[in-house]
Structure 1
Amino acid sequence: MALQWRSWLANEGGRHILLLFWLSLNVWLFWKTFLLYYRGPHYYYLHQMLG
Structure 2
Amino acid sequence: LVALGKLNKVIAADLNITEKTVQQHRSVACHKLSVRNVAELVEFLKVLES
Give the TM-score category using the shorter length: 0.3 to 0.5
* Structure with the greater alpha carbon radius of gyration: 1
Q: Looking at secondary structure, tell me which structure has more helix per residue.
A: 1
The TM-score with structure 2 as length reference comes to 0.34
